[in-house]
């Protein structure tokens, strides 16, 4: 059942609509039922677009839409309706548009998507190519600068025009070389997936007309998290029909550090003067105690729209606050509380470990927690290492990508000696420069064998299903044999590759066709025409592997307590949530060697705490340590201001017994 506000949003189908949805207020349910209602009214499913941020959110929305449509009898009479809306993340949408329009920007459909390590490698090469020291001009810092500019919709050409100081000029020089490398290798980095798609829409009227006519009804989830280039993509697509529905929560804007701007959602009415605004304030996730605490905290922010979350779930338990002596004591106290929560009762667990999460502001906090989990033999999982980032998994995928795109130097460098085949760096450079004819007989034999292997892999990629292809690569490259005969660590790597086979098998039955646009130079009506283009299952596997995120690791049935940063927890929910390290300068966070915290930074930290609290369904546990070791020095702490923001009567406070014979000194 939909509540009155949700029904109003579902039935408002024409023109711009802003849905301000609080945490746990059923925004996905509202959007999916709105899509169902549009189709019931006669809108063709393929004319509906829904965009969100994470693969997990896109998958959930896609599954809910499929379920609603397949179970709706009026829609499926007299025959089953197989057409579906396009539900995607922003980056997957960018890949979709770029692949269809790849000829417009000098790419093939098999372009490679750089991950961060690929980008840092290319940036480092560019720095060294300019005769600069990578230790002085750290590639990661330069990459971050370039990434931020791309997120603002700025190209290297535009950036050079405004580069007037020394560092900016260096960044511009490095960026030019970096772009040349990407072009040579027929590759794009992660930011290009959005930037290039936006530029295609902006600079090509025929492409913009095609997609705005195709997607006549647009939905955008988590609109408060959009950056400039994502905002531009949405605005260009909605320009023609103005049928745009954005859903978001100003109080959950926590990504300014990666370019997200709260002003996109605050200025929605200026962009679309006829916009209707609907507030969703009824929460279906948490207890009233949790929501009251969240309301207490967030109402101190000025840059927001007033809304108050409420629920019919009941008051629930009070919030638990534990004060400990050190971070080790804090970790032990948390684990002991968790052991009580998951203890057996009449032969069954009261709560499964997977329903518990520990959130922290900074990654370094996980160390003490891990030690406590290991000591007490409680299962845990740290969110942060992607399956597709594991070396052996990347190796297999690189073999496949290199077979389809020989210009991908990053993939070629990665695999040319995997397993070791006696090809040195000088030889490798000659292979990349197509100078194999200059090699001696022995080296030429080795290189030719490697290139022949890539030819065989390409043939299998074009004829076999993905799972068979992965098995073939494992066998023919010698990876499987090398790992099978290796150490215990190698056995674990082999298990990861076997898991990759299972992942690939999910694509074996994939049969997808898309409308592909032929460019304006075809001489067709309005400069465009469409044709059916097959997206191979292998393409889809490689694309999804490149777009995978940390949250995708949660798809596995790993019955363990989850440890993660608050930023990583966005969009997730658990029965029990522990928020650790609630100390001034840690949460709210103050960066080292920086000046006073600005009001904008302070408000974002408060929004971050609001997000942390509202991840919980049943109960929240807060904790802080009086002493914490940071960068090798003990720091005496005061409790976070966020604790005192929470109103009276909502918190139960307890102090852990201080250890005997411990002392500390303060040097004034």
Catalytic residue among 406, 615, 617, 619: 615
Extended beta strands in 148-194, E state: 187-188
What's CA 584's distance to the chain center, in Å? 28
Alpha-carbon distance of 541 to 507, in angstroms, equals 7
To the query of whether residue 28 is one of the catalytic residues in this protein, the response is: yes
Distances (CA, A) of 453 to 148, 424, 476, 478, 533: 39, 18, 8, 11, 28
Catalytic residue among 30, 226, 252, 322: 252
424: exposed, middle or buried (Cβ count in 10 Å: 0-12, 13-18, 19+): exposed
Cβ–Cβ under 8 Å, residues 85 and 537? no
Alpha helices (H) along 356-436: 366-376, 391-404, 409-415, 425-432
* CA-wise closest residue to 212 among 246, 231, 238: 238
Q: CB-based contacts of 73: which residues, under 8 Å, 6+ apart?
A: none
371: exposed, middle or buried (Cβ count in 10 Å: 0-12, 13-18, 19+): middle
Q: Decide the pairing of beta strands 112-113 and 344-345.
A: unpaired
Catalytic residue among 28, 32, 149, 536: 28
To the query of whether residue 109 is one of the catalytic residues in this protein, the response is: no
Catalytic residue among 179, 191, 222, 395: 222
What's CA 257's distance to the chain center, in Å? 14
**∠556-396-98 over CA atoms, to 5°?**
85
To the query of whether residue 27 is one of the catalytic residues in this protein, the response is: yes
Beta bridge partners of 48: 217
Catalytic residue among 5, 27, 414, 607: 27
**∠384-389-394 over CA atoms, to 5°?**
170
To the query of whether residue 252 is one of the catalytic residues in this protein, the response is: yes
Cβ–Cβ under 8 Å, residues 132 and 124? no
Alpha-carbon distance of 544 to 163, in angstroms, equals 36
Q: Decide the pairing of beta strands 529-535 and 512-518.
A: antiparallel
511: exposed, middle or buried (Cβ count in 10 Å: 0-12, 13-18, 19+): exposed
Alpha-carbon distance of 103 to 157, in angstroms, equals 21
Alpha-carbon distance of 60 to 68, in angstroms, equals 12
3-class SS string, 252-305: HCCCHHHCCCCHHHHCHHHHCCCCEEEEECECCCCCHHHHHHHHHHHCCCCCCC
To the query of whether residue 615 is one of the catalytic residues in this protein, the response is: yes
Alpha-carbon distance of 139 to 189, in angstroms, equals 15
* CA-wise closest residue to 599 among 363, 256, 361, 260: 256
Catalytic residue among 115, 185, 221, 411: 221
To the query of whether residue 222 is one of the catalytic residues in this protein, the response is: yes
Give helix 466-476 / helix 488-505 axis angle, nearest 10°.
Answer: 150
Cβ–Cβ under 8 Å, residues 275 and 16? yes
Catalytic residues: 27-28, 221-222, 252, 615
């Amino acid at each position: 059942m939909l509540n009155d506000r949700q029904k109003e949003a579902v039935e408002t189908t024409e023109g711009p609509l802003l849905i301000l949805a609080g945490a746990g207020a059923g925004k996905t349910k509202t959007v999916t039922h709105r899509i169902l209602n549009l189709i019931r009214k006669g809108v063709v499913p393929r004319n509906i677009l829904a965009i969100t941020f994470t693969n997990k959110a896109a998958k959930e929305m896609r599954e809910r839409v499929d379920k609603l449509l397949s179970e709706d009898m009026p829609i499926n009479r007299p025959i089953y309706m197989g057409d579906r809306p396009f539900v995607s993340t922003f980056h997957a949408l960018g890949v979709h548009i770029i692949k269809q329009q790849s000829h417009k920007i000098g790419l093939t459909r098999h372009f490679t998507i750089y991950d961060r390590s690929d980008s840092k490698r290319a940036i480092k090469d560019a720095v060294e190519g300019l005769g600069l020291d990578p230790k002085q001009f750290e590639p990661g810092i330069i990459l971050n600068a370039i990434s931020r500019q791309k997120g603002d919709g700025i190209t290297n050409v535009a950036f050079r025009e405004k580069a007037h100081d020394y560092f900016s000029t260096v960044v511009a020089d490095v960026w030019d070389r970096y772009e040349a490398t990407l072009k040579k290798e027929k590759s794009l980095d992660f930011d290009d997936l959005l930037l290039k798609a936006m530029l295609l829409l902006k600079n090509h009227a025929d492409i913009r007309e095609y997609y705005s006519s195709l997607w006549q009804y647009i939905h955008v989830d988590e609109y408060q998290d959009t950056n400039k280039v994502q905002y531009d993509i949405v605005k260009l697509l909605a320009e023609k029909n103005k049928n745009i529905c954005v859903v978001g929560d100003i109080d959950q804007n926590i990504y300014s550090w990666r370019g997200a701007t709260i002003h996109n959602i605050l200025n929605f009415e200026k962009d679309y003067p006829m916009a209707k605004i609907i507030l969703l304030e009824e929460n279906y996730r948490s207890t009233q105690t949790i929501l009251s605490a969240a309301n207490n905290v967030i109402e101190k922010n000025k840059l927001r729209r007033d809304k108050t979350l409420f629920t019919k779930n009941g008051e629930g338990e009070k919030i638990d606050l534990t004060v400990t002596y050190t971070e080790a004591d804090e970790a032990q106290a948390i684990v002991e509380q968790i052991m009580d929560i998951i203890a057996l009762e009449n032969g069954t667990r009261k709560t499964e470990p997977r329903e518990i999460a520990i959130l922290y502001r900074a990654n370094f906090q996980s160390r003490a927690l891990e030690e406590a989990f290991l000591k007490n033999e409680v299962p845990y999982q740290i969110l942060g290492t992607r399956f597709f980032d594991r070396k052996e998994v990347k190796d297999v995928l690189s073999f496949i990508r290199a077979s389809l795109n020989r210009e991908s130097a990053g993939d070629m460098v990665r695999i040319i000696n995997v397993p070791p085949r006696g090809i040195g760096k000088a030889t490798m450079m000659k292979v990349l420069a197509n100078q194999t004819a200059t090699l001696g007989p022995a080296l030429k034999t080795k290189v030719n064998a490697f290139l022949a292997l890539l030819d065989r892999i390409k043939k299998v990629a074009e004829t076999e299903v993905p799972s068979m292809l992965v098995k073939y690569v494992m066998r023919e490259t010698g990876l499987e044999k090398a790992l099978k005969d290796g150490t215990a660590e190698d056995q674990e790597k082999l298990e990861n590759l076997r898991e990759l086979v299972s992942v690939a098998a999910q694509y074996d039955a994939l049969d997808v066709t898309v409308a592909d646009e032929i460019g304006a130079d075809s001489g067709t009506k309005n400069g465009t025409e469409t044709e059916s283009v097959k997206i191979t299952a292998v393409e889809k596997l490689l694309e999804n592997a490149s777009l995978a995120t940390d949250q995708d690791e949660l798809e596995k049935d790993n019955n363990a307590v989850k440890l993660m940063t608050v930023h990583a927890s966005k969009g997730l929910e658990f029965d029990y949530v522990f928020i650790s390290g609630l100390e001034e300068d840690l949460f709210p966070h103050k960066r080292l060697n920086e000046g006073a915290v600005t009001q904008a930074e302070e408000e974002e930290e408060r929004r971050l705490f609001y997000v942390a609290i509202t991840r919980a369904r049943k109960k929240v546990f807060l904790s802080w340590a009086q002493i914490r070791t940071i960068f090798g020095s003990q720091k005496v702490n005061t409790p976070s201001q966020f604790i005192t923001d929470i109103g009276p009567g909502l918190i139960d406070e307890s102090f852990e017994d201080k250890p005997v014979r411990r002392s500390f000194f303060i040097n004034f």
